[in-house]
């Protein structure tokens, strides 16, 4: 894929197209202030006449502004928590038509299985502060679907989960609106 990028203020737009697969990925990145973090809105478009089994892989390297000490995956809440100073951060994603979502923390070489497109179970990490999310999505021919990835910052778990649930609630309201229309 050859990504093209256009930045306008607090919004970055990235578009990539795979010619052979006839598949387009559009990412709208909104940057918030330090405490809110960022939000990616992802549009996946299967422009082919074939059904596709997609693995959308998100890989995040350690942010230089944070000194992270421990990273933890919460399987029940489908979130990744990074405990460090001066902030605690929470990373999560949601995709429409998602079959499953895998989360892992640690060095990419240790948690990513490239041939299978899956992550090795790695719920806790004290070295290699990297995060990976793999969303498996099945798409019909000429289908478009949407997803969101966000990271929020705070001083306590309660604070980041409040911000996280706002994103989850927004996603559910958005889905209900689209079903109504």
- Strand ordering across the sheet containing 131-139: 52-60, 131-139, 98-105
Task: Encode pLDDT of 126-173 as tens digits.
Answer: 765 788 999 999 999 999 999 999 999 999 999 999 999 988 887 665
Phi, psi of 167 (to 5 degrees): -65, -40
Task: Encode pLDDT of 55-91 as tens digits.
Answer: 999 998 865 445 557 889 998 899 999 888 777 889 9
Q: Do 156 and 87 contact (CB within 8 A), yes or no?
A: no
Among 76, 181, 84, 175, which Cα is nearest to 125's?
84
Stated pTM of the model: 0.84
């Amino acid at each position: 894929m050859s990504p093209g990028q256009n930045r306008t203020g607090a919004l970055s737009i990235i578009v990539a197209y795979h010619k052979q697969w006839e598949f387009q990925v559009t990412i709208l990145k909104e940057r918030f202030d330090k405490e809110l973090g960022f939000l990616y809105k992802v549009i996946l478009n299967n422009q082919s006449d074939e059904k596709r089994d997609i693995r959308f892989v998100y890989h995040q390297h350690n942010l230089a502004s944070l000194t992270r000490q421990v990273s933890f995956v919460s399987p029940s809440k489908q979130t990744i928590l990074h405990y460090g100073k001066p902030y605690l951060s929470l990373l999560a994603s949601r995709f429409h038509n998602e079959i499953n979502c895998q989360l892992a923390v640690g060095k990419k070489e240790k948690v990513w299985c490239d041939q299978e497109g899956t992550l090795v179970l790695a719920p806790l990490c004290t070295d290699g502060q990297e995060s990976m999310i793999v969303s498996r999505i099945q798409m019909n021919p000429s289908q478009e679907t949407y997803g969101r990835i966000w990271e929020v910052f705070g001083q306590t778990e309660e604070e980041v989960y409040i911000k996280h649930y706002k994103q989850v609630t927004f996603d559910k309201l958005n889905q209900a609106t689209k079903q109504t229309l």
